[in-house]
Structures are given as structure tokens and as C-alpha cells.
Amino acid sequence: MSIIEKALNKSVAQRLPVSKLTGGTLDAEADEDFEPAYERHPSFNDTLPLVKLDFAKMESQGLLPSEDHAMRLREEYRRIKWPLLDVALNRTSHELENSNLIMVTSSIPGEGKTFCTINLALSMARQKQCTVLLVDADTAKPKISRLLGLDEKPGLSELLEDPGTVLTDVMHRTSVDRLFIVPAGVATQDSPELMAGGRMRALVRELAQLPRGHIVIFDTAPLLANNEAQVMSRLVGQVAFVIRADTTPRVAVREAISLVNKKAALGVILNQTTTGFGAKYYGDYYSYGRD
């Protein structure tokens, strides 16, 4: 049985604590210190333009829960982030290239990729030892960039297109400590080709060489929509694959997973959105590896 089906079956049959499924660290003090301090890379500094995160707007757009449910979401995202951080910080036995680069994807549209990306990024940024760079790599539907009013600003597209543009030209700091953003930029018809190009590979090398504790999270397109996410899975160390519980057809999940680079660590976020905020879990995370 594949990891995906195991995860789906487990999620239906019995709701085990995620730690039992993953063997990962489930730490009640998850937002507390876990390692000695690290050096932040000088590019992540106060001279970058500031973008204010408007939590009320994010809530009204369904990307954050109401305050009543914020604590629960926070708890659930602690459990989701830990297996990813374990790998990214080399705290597990997984020896992976580019393990600090995490893409969030899914098989089909609307499964909650953007929701998961934002909440994971916020949760990781709560760690004092992390610096998080959220990259809006869904150039066709740049929801995060729009939400933050950055959809007209240069971003990933320009970085990949224009040899004169460097990472710090398109980076923004945010009103949340330790959280930085690269918007999608203005999409061109060449976006899928650019993702597969040499400048993207150079960018990935640059991001992978950031000091330990720097985590890069990419919000991407669905795997079955075009080949952008598939290409990106060859560049990142970790793929967080979102499945909308009780909704996504298994055949779509199987097909999409078959497109993911076999070398990347693969995990599943089972996103329980069917009854909206309040009634169900926001998400669970299931183990790494393939079989």
C-alpha cells in the first residue's frame, strides 16, 4: 500500500496523534528554543520594503480562522511543521539535498495549498531560530501576492526572467518577525519554461546555501494543472502534498504523486476543509518516504 493510501486509511479508520504516525518530534513547547542561536543571513534585513500582514483580511478571505479557533489551528500547525523542520534542520536521519526548501502542492485546484503555506510559514516563523522566506510560486494564481497587495510588484517571474534582478530586489520583510516574502511577479507566458531554466536552478542553489535555520516555503500550482509544480519538485528537498480530505479523488492523488520527484522527501497534509472552520481538524501531517 502506498504512503498516501496508508495516510488516507489511517485518517478515516482512527485519528492517531500525528507523532505516532510520523515518529517525529511532538513537543508541547514547540515554539520554544530548540537549538543554539543561528546567524541570520545579512540579506534578510530591515532595509527591505515592509509589507504589513492584514490578519482581518486574511480571515475574511478564509486563509486564517476566526480568533475563536486560532488556538486550535496553532496547535495543529505545530504538529504539521515539526516533521518538516526536523528534516530541514537535519535533526532526523534523513540526509537530503535542499532540505530547507519546501514546496506545498496538491493534485487539483482548491485543496488548500495557499491556506497551508501561509499557516505553515506563520507557524515556522514563531520559532526564534528560524527565518522563513515564503515564495509565491503560483504565478498563474498568485493569491498570496494579491492578498498582500504585491501582485503588481516584481517577484519570482522577474527574478527568473531578468539577469539584472537579484533576490533582494524582490524580497519584502513583513510585520511578522522572521517572516519574509517574495511575490509571484508579473506572470509571463514563459513561466513554466522559466521554472525549468538555469536561473531557477541558480536561485535554488542560493536558497539552499542559506545558513541553517533559513526555511523557504513555496506556494505552487497543482501538479495536474501544468508542469510547473512537477518541475519544482525536482529542485526542492521536501514536498508537502495537500489532500483535501473526503474530496480529492484517489485516482488524482495517485497520478499527481507519480509526478513528484522520487528523491524529495514527501509528506501529506490531510486538509480537512469539508465543514469549514470549527467543525473539523485544520490539518494533519503524515510521514515521509515512499514505498
Ligand X SMILES: Nc1ncnc2c1ncn2[C@@H]1O[C@H](COP(=O)(O)OP(=O)(O)OP(=O)(O)O)[C@@H](O)[C@H]1O
**Residue whose C-alpha cell reads 517525529 in the numeric block:** 24
Residues that bind ligand X (CB under 6 A): 62-63, 106, 109-115, 138, 141, 143, 222, 271, 273, 276-277, 282-283
Q: How far is the CB of 12 from Mg ion (least distance, A)?
A: 25
Residue facing Mg ion at closest CB distance: 114
Q: Which is nearer to ligand X, 145 or 273 (CB)?
A: 273
Dihedral (Cα; 116, 122, 124, 127), 10-degree rounding: -160
Q: Which is nearer to ligand X, 93 or 275 (CB)?
A: 275
Q: How far is the CB of 185 from Mg ion (least distance, A)?
A: 16
122-181: contacts with Mg ion (CB under 5 A): 143
* Of positions 107, 114, 157, 287, contacts Mg ion by CB under 5 A: 114
From Mg ion, ligand X, none, which one binds at residue 55 (CB under 5 to 8 Å depending on kind)? Answer: none
- Can you give the three-state secondary structure of the chain, one letter per residue? CCHHHHHHHHHHHCCCCHHHHHCCCCCCCCCCCCCCCCCCCCCCCCCCCEECCCHHHHHHCCCCCCHHHHHHHHHHHHHHHHHHHHHHCCCCCCCCCCCCEEEEEECCCCCCHHHHHHHHHHHHHCCCCCEEEEEECCCCCCHHHHHCCCCCCCCHHHHHHCCCCCHHHHCEEECCCCEEEECCCCCCCCHHHHHCCHHHHHHHHHHHCCCCCEEEEEECCCCCCCCHHHHHHCCCCEEEEEEECCCCCHHHHHHHHHHCCCCCEEEEEEECCCCCCCCCCCCEEECCCCC
Q: How far is the CB of 57 from ligand X (least distance, A)?
A: 12
Q: Which is nearer to ligand X, 60 or 168 (CB)?
A: 60
From ligand X, Mg ion, none, which one binds at residue 222 (CB under 5 to 8 Å depending on kind)? Answer: ligand X
Q: Which is nearer to ligand X, 48 or 252 (CB)?
A: 252
* Of positions 113, 153, 172, 173, contacts Mg ion by CB under 5 A: 113
Q: How far is the CB of 218 from Mg ion (least distance, A)?
A: 11
From Mg ion, ligand X, none, which one binds at residue 213 (CB under 5 to 8 Å depending on kind)? Answer: none
Q: Which is nearer to ligand X, 138 or 158 (CB)?
A: 138
Q: Which is nearer to Mg ion, 114 or 174 (CB)?
A: 114
Name the site residues for Mg ion (rule: CB under 5 A).
113-114, 143
